[in-house]
A and B are shown apart, each in its own frame.
Chain A
Amino acid sequence: MTATSPARPAASKPSPSAEEIASRKIAQVIRRHGAQPDALIEVLHQVQEIHGYLPKQALDQVARQLRMPLSRVYGVASFYHLFTLEPPTPHRCAVCLGTACFVKGGADVAARLEQRLGVKLDDPAGNGIWAVQHVSCLGACGQAPVLVVDGVLVTKLPIDQPEALDAVLESTGMPAAGAVPA
C-alpha cells in the first residue's frame, strides 16, 4: 500500500542497467503468476513495489507479457486508489479521515499538516519533498485520530493541544512550518 509502506527504492546504482534490472524483476513476477490475465492487480502491486510507482514503460511491459491491450492495464492502474502513476515525493503522510477520526478532529489534523508543510491535501506533488493524502479508514478507529508518516502509524493525536501536536509531528521527522520552501 502506498500510504503505509514506504516503497522500496528502485535500484539506485547509476549503472545504465538499472532499468534492465527492474524489467527483469517484472518479467519474473509475471512468470511467477503464470502470465494469467487475472493476476494483473497482483502484478501491478509488485511493479509498484519495485519502482515506487507505475512508470509508463513498466505498464507497456506488463501489457506485452500478459498479452493484453495497454488500455486495459492503464484502465486498471488508474482505477484503484493505491496505484500511483507519478513518482512519489521522498516523504509521504496519510491522514485518516474515516468517521471515527472525523469525529475526533481528523480534518483539523489535515489542516494543520497543510499549513505546516505548505502543501494541499491530496496533491501528489506536495511541496516536492512532502505530500499529504487522505485515507478513508485505517481500521485503527480505537486510537483516533491517526496519521501515517512514511509508513509509521501515529495514534491518538492531541488535537486540542497545539503544542503537544506540534511536538508529535516534530518527532515523526516532519519539518517545522516555514522550513520548507514553497
Chain B
Amino acid sequence: MSSSGSTTPARQLRCCGASGCRSAGSEELQAALEAARDAAGHTAQELAIKPVGCLRLCGRGPLVACDGPGGTTLYGAVPPTEAGALIEAARLGDHGNDTLQTSRLDPQLPFFALQSSVVLEGCGQVDPESIDDAIAFGTYSQLRRCLHELTPEEVREQVKRSGLRGRGGGGYPTGLKWDTVALQPPGPRYVVCNADEGDPGAFMDRSVLESDPHRLLEGLAIAAYAVGADRGYVYVRAEYPLAVERLRKALQQARRAGLLGNGIDGTSFSLTIEVRVGAGAYVCGEETALLQSIQGQRGMPRPRPPYPAQSGLWGAPTLINNVETMAAVPVILREGGDWYASMGTAGSKGTKVFALSGAVTNTGLVEVPMGTTLRSVVEVIGGGVPDGSPIKAVQTGGPSGGCIPAELLDTPVDYESLMELGSMMGSGGMVVMGETTSMPEVARHFMRFSVNESCGKCVPCRAGTVQLAQLLDRFVERRASPADMAKLDALCRMVKATSLCGLGQSAPNPVLSTLRYFRHEYEAACRQPALCEQP
C-alpha cells in the first residue's frame, strides 16, 4: 500500500484515516476511490491512493488531499458517489470540476495558511501503518545520527538549547528534566511516554499516535539514549483503540527493522518498549498515578518529592514526557536547538498543537508558533462562531484550566500569559463558547467531571469537589443565596491550596476563572441578586 519516497508517483491521493475522518466515513470513501480508479483503468503507479493520518480540518471529514505537478488540492466530505469525479480530477490535475465544487477546500484559507507544521510535519504525509514510508520520510534518521555521532550529553544540550517545555500542561523545561534523570547515580532507568490524554476537548496526542507513531517512537528512543535508559513504556488511554492498534503495529515493525531491541543499528544501545493501556481513569495522566498504573496498581498519586526523575518506576529514576514533547525531539535534533528556539516567545519556545472545537467554524488540529494570539487561533484560523455571532469565551486547559473572556482574546498563547489569566496551557484543548453557553453550567460541567475522576485519596479533593458541585447546582438551578457565593469562593481556595495532586489543586480553576470574568452570571443566579455584590 505504501510507496517509498523515491518511487512516489507524480499524482497521488492521500486519504485521512485518523479517528475523526474514519467516523465520517473515510474507509468507505477510500474503497470507492480505489474501485473508481480501477474502473477507469488507471494503475497504482499512475495514481496512488495512500492512507495517511490527520489532515487537520477534522470537522470537514473525510478529507482527501490530491497531489499533482500543479500542487496539492484538498477536498472535504466528498460523498463516495463522487469518487469517480475525484479520480478524474486528480488524474487530469484539473480541479475545476463543478460537481466537486462544494467539497473543494481553499488551501489559502487561514486555517491552513497560518499553520506551521513542526511536530505534525509527518501527519497527513506518511502512512501510519508503514515503517518503510516513515523511513522514506526521514523518521529514525535522527535516532541513527544520535547513536553514531552524538554523545548523550550532546543530545541533551540540543534539547536544552531548544527551550522545549513539557507539552502535557506542566511546562517544565524538558532539557532540565532529562539532565536530572541522566545525572542520577548509576543503575537502571526508565523512560515513559504519557499518552493518557484525558482532558475533554483535547485530541492532539491521539492524532500524533494515529498519524505518525514512528516519530513518537524515534523521540522516545532518543530520550532513552540521552538519559541512559534501556526500558520504556508508552501509557495510552484505552478510549483510543485505533491509536493503541497503530502504536502496537509500529512497535512491532520497529523491532523487526532493528530500530528497537538489542544492539540498535549496530551500536551497543538497547531499548525495549512496551505499550500499557489504561482503563479509564483521568487521574492516571498525573505522573505519579501513571507510574502506579504501569505497575498494575490503583492509579493514585503520591506526594512529590521525590520526583519520578529521582524515584519512579520500581524506585528507579524515570523520565516521563508527554506525546507532543517526545514527538518534537527528532525535529529539534535535525534542525538544531537554536532553530527551534527561534520560534515562539522569550519563555515559551517552538510551536504548540491545539485541538480546536466547540462553537467554531473550523474544528480540527492547529499547530502555531507559541505567542500567537488567542484571537488569531479562534477567530482567524478557527473562523469564529458558525452563525457569525460573537465569541463569549475560550476554554483552555480542560478541567484544570479556565475560561478566557472575549475581551482578553488578544493575549498571546504561552505558558505564563495563560497562567496570569487564571487558566493554563494544559495539553492543548481549546473549546470555543458562544453567547448561549451559561458559565455556571460550564463550571458545574467541569466540577462533575472532577467528582467522577477524583481518586479518593485526599479529603479536600474527594469531599471538596462534591461540595463544590452541589453549590454549583444551586447556581445552575437559580436558587443560590449570597452566602453560597462566599462559600463557593472560599471552598475553591481551600481545595486548591490543600489537595494532594495536580488534579485536586486545579479542579477549582474552572469555577475561579468564571467567577472572575463572569461574576454577573453567578450574581444573576442568586435569589436576591442585589445582595450578591462583592463585599
Contact = CB atoms under 8 A, between A and B. Distances in A.
Q: Which of B200, B203, B429, B452 has the most CB of A within 10 A?
A: B200
A138 B278 CA distance: 14
Given A103-B358, A140-B20, A41 B293 contact: yes
B279 A143 contact: no
Interface in A38-76: 38-42, 44-45, 72, 75-76
B355 A80 contact: no
A3 interface: yes
Interface in A161-175: none
Contacts of B281: 79-81
B418 interface: no
B478 interface: no
Interface string B127-168: 000000000000000000000000000000000000000000
A75 B298 contact: yes
Given A140-B23, A143-B23, A44 B279 contact: yes
A53 to B, nearest CB: 13
B426 to A, nearest CB: 11
B198 A136 contact: yes
A82 B280 contact: yes
A146 B449 contact: no
A159 interface: no
A100 interface: yes
B381 to A, nearest CB: 14
Q: In the complex, which range does the number of interface residues on chain B fall in?
A: 35 or more
Contacts of A155: 23-24
Given A38-B296, A39-B296, A135-B239, A99 B398 contact: yes
B37 interface: no
B429 A99 contact: yes
Nearest to A48: B279
Contacts of A81: 279-281, 452
B295 A139 contact: no
A52 to B, nearest CB: 16
A142 interface: yes
A27 interface: no
A80 B293 CA distance: 10
B299 interface: yes
Nearest to A138: B239
Nearest to A1: B238
Given A4-B241, A99-B429, A141 B357 contact: yes
B332 interface: no
B452 A103 contact: no
B63 to A, nearest CB: 11
Given A41-B276, A103-B437, A141-B203, A80 B299 contact: yes
Contacts of B20: 140, 142-143
Contact of B23 (A36, A102, A146): A146
A132 interface: no
Given A41-B279, A45-B279, A135-B239, A97 B445 contact: yes
A113 interface: no
Interface string B238-270: 111100000000000000000000000000000
Contacts of B309: none
B122 interface: no
B507 interface: no
Contact of A98 (B201, B241, B442): B201
A144 B201 CA distance: 10
A170 to B, nearest CB: 19
B240 A139 contact: yes
Contacts of A5: 241
Contacts of A37: 295-296
27 contacts: A1-B241, A38-B296, A39-B296, A40-B296, A45-B279, A72-B297, A75-B298, A79-B299, A79-B455, A80-B280, A82-B278, A99-B395, A99-B431, A99-B445, A103-B434, A104-B358, A135-B239, A136-B453, A138-B239, A140-B19, A140-B20, A140-B23, A141-B58, A141-B200, A142-B20, A142-B364, A155-B23
State the 8 A-B residue pairs at the shortest beta-carbon distance, nearest first.
A142-B58, A98-B200, A80-B279, A141-B357, A81-B280, A82-B280, A40-B296, A137-B200
Interface of A: 1, 3-5, 36-42, 44-45, 72, 75-76, 79-83, 97-100, 102-104, 135-144, 146, 153, 155
Given A41-B277, A142-B61, 11 more contacts: A1-B238, A41-B293, A79-B298, A80-B278, A80-B279, A80-B280, A82-B278, A102-B445, A104-B358, A141-B357, A155-B23
